[in-house]
Structure 1
Amino acid sequence: MILRTIARPLLASAFVVSGIDALRARPATVDTAQPLVDAGRDALPAEVAAVVPANAATAMRVNGGLQIAGGVLLATGRVPRVASAVLAGTLIPTTVYDGAFWTETDPVRRETRKVSFIKNLGLLGGVLIASADTAGQPSLAWRGRRKADEAKMAVAAALPIGAKAGSSAWAQMAERATDDAHALGEHAHEWGEAAAGMLDRGRDQAEAVAMRVADRAPAVFEQARYQAGELTGAVADRAPVVADQLRASAQEAARHVRCRRRNWRTAGA
């Protein structure tokens, strides 16, 4: 831990100083960097080259800003792996350009580019190591593989349990259905017995009513015949009186008719 605390600021210092120089964008440095920018834009695809500034001064300032930000993050130990990867990306253009130092005709410039090329290779190796340094912690790739393996193991362990739980659940459901069917059968038997009892009671009551009707039928018939005899006797007793009354009423009506006829004759004469 102490080694990293010391080494990271030392490695980052070179990038911070280089970034400050790039932000200043001295005319001589811009003239030197313009061929590098032009060659880089020509080598890149059209859609990527459109994003890269055509002006060397602008490209240097952007690259310098990335170097300063990445150097500060690396020195302070904040997201050091990401910062190291960004710093490695800022070194690639100048390293590729200085790699062809033997094409330089001026001996002084050729030597300068060679020294810059070797220095950039050393810095690139340092930031690549820093980008892979997990500080004793598992890397993201290892964590991802570990999580994937744990998920596979959990699924493999859960499948038999799920199958067993499923079969157990089906067995419980089947047992519950059997119990319900048995209980329903018992209830149906009880309901059938109750219905049979009701039918038996109804039949007994019907037979009792029929027997009572059969027992009382002769008495009812005798009573009806007696009442019919009494009614016939009463009619026979009243018949002479009624006949006399009808005859007297007929004679009275005939007398009135004769009187009226004589009156009509007298009045006509």
Structure 2
Amino acid sequence: MKHILLTNDDGFDAVGLKALIEALLPIAKITVVAPARNKSACGHSLTLDKPLRMICVEDDYYKIDDASPTDCIFISLSNLFKEGYKPDLVISGINIGANMGEDITYSGTAAGAMEAVIHKVPAIAISQVCNDKCEDIKNGWDFELAKKVIVELASKILDNSFPLDERKFLNVNIPPIKADECNGIKVTKVGYREYGNDTHRHLNPRGEEYYWIGLHPLIWKPSEKKDCDFEAIKANYVSVTPIMLDLTSYNDIQAIESWLKK
């Protein structure tokens, strides 16, 4: 039986992770390794300054104290799987909230998939887009569309047809609609996210300053061909974006070489 390793940056008991497990159990053996608490927006961080303790919650289900999704994948691949054996697929999610545009660089969900492909394991990051305060999720969102899509994608990959080269993964975003309202799946590029500066300054009882970083609305720069992840979601499509870890700006190499010679 095929084997899928799951993680989630919302924590080991996240509703999105539970929905993901429920969807995938019929098609594969499932192992879960996730942070013990919410680690949203931790990026591709690896914990190097303290030991991490893996705790077995139940069979094939683990949480790691104060770990990032990157830690979870890194530790599990080298400790839960026999030498020479790796899972057939890693899936990170279902994240609560979008991971589109430059938010991918902040995303612990995307980072879990990044870590997997570094170790030559095919990977998907999947996120459920919601309203600004995710009230729809809090009110019992059924994840019907997300579960349908992830089973379809995972099944294709488990049939030995992962479509990407090494160090590339699929970033999937699900529109906040019911399954019968979806217009299909659209392959997209990363959008150009517009950011504000939503920080809130407060004083604690001792008069010391502290800050909360707020949530930014999903605002983006329109793409010429209307083919980015934001626009697909707005049009009620599932967005599937191929992501590569190579961040080199190849078009600028020659320009930088000329600049250095001046």
| TM band (smaller chain) | under 0.3
TM-score (norm 2): 0.19
Higher relative contact order (CA 8 A, sep 6+): 2
In proportion to residue count, which structure has more strand? Answer: 2
In proportion to residue count, which structure has more helix? Answer: 1
**Higher alpha-carbon Rg:** 1
TM-score (norm 1): 0.18
